[in-house]
Chains A and B, each alone.
Chain A
Amino acid sequence: RKEVEQDPGPFNVPEGATVAFNCTYSNSASQSFFWYRQDCRKEPKLLMSVYSSGNEDGRFTAQLNRASQYISLLIRDSKLSDSATYLCVVIKGSQGNLIFGKGTKLSVKP
């Protein structure tokens, strides 16, 4: 089983739509989780950390389900600028090494 698995997409949605991405991780001992976004040929940019109780940042909501070992990201009221690849990321090791999923591609259309 891969360490971090994501549906590669693409998700093609109209502006204003709500879209959700899921991610599963294999190591039940993992403690820290993040969502990054990556634009084409650019660096990953931290979108949000994922807390056990779930957290929200504007139009973005992240949830963690430890029992099922999955993480979700919900984007409400999608904007054209949300078009990117969304990377699910899990910490591995005591030094904070990040393990990335392959990403889910989102394309928001007018």
Chain B
Amino acid sequence: EPEVTQTPSHQVTQMGQEVILRCVPISNHLYFYWYRQILGQKVEFLVSFYNNEISEKSEIFDDQFSVERPDGSNFTLKIRSTKLEDSAMYFCASSVPPPSPWGLAGYEQYFGPGTRLTVT
């Protein structure tokens, strides 16, 4: 069964450093997402990406964050200058061809195992 993969599983970095989190979405999926979950809190939407550009982003996704699809398989999240409060689990997700407003097909998102980011 195809699955979303993410690397690394755990990243420790010092405050102010740049980190890049990597994801390989399911191969025939065209919508890509990043979410984060601070320990003990709910999963929060960061950004959606389609057709090589950002579709939507949340208030959390400020100028310190960027996303990229550098090739046909990888999808990355970069945090330019990490803060202590960026410590969280970051999940990548993908969904099948563009969401249809006429049904649920295409909205079903499949999540990768996550990267635990620890900022010290």
Contacts and interface: CB of A to CB of B under 8 A. Distances in A.
Nearest to A103: B42
Sorting the interface of chain A by its residue count into under 10, 10 to 19, 20 to 34 or 35 or more gives 20 to 34
B113 A34 contact: no
Contact of B33 (A34, A43, A49, A97): A97
A92 B107 CA distance: 11
A95 interface: yes
Given A43-B91, A43-B114, A98-B93, 16 more contacts: A31-B101, A43-B113, A44-B111, A46-B108, A91-B99, A95-B31, A95-B55, A96-B33, A96-B99, A96-B107, A97-B45, A99-B45, A100-B42, A100-B44, A101-B42, A103-B42
Interface residues of B, number: 29
Of A34, A43, A92, A94, most buried by chain B (CB within 10 Å of CB) is: A43
A60 interface: no
A88 B11 CA distance: 29
Interface string B85-109: 0000101010100010100101111
Nearest to A6: B42
A102 B101 CA distance: 26
A59 interface: no
A102 B42 contact: yes
A102 B114 CA distance: 18
Given A43-B112, A96-B99, A96-B109, A87 B43 contact: yes
A66 interface: no
B104 A44 contact: no
B43 A32 contact: no
B65 interface: no
Nearest to B104: A49
B108 to A, nearest CB: 6
Interface string A80-98: 0000000100011111111
B110 to A, nearest CB: 7
A49 B44 CA distance: 19
Interface string B41-55: 111110010100001
A32 B42 contact: no
Contacts of B50: 95
Nearest to A101: B42
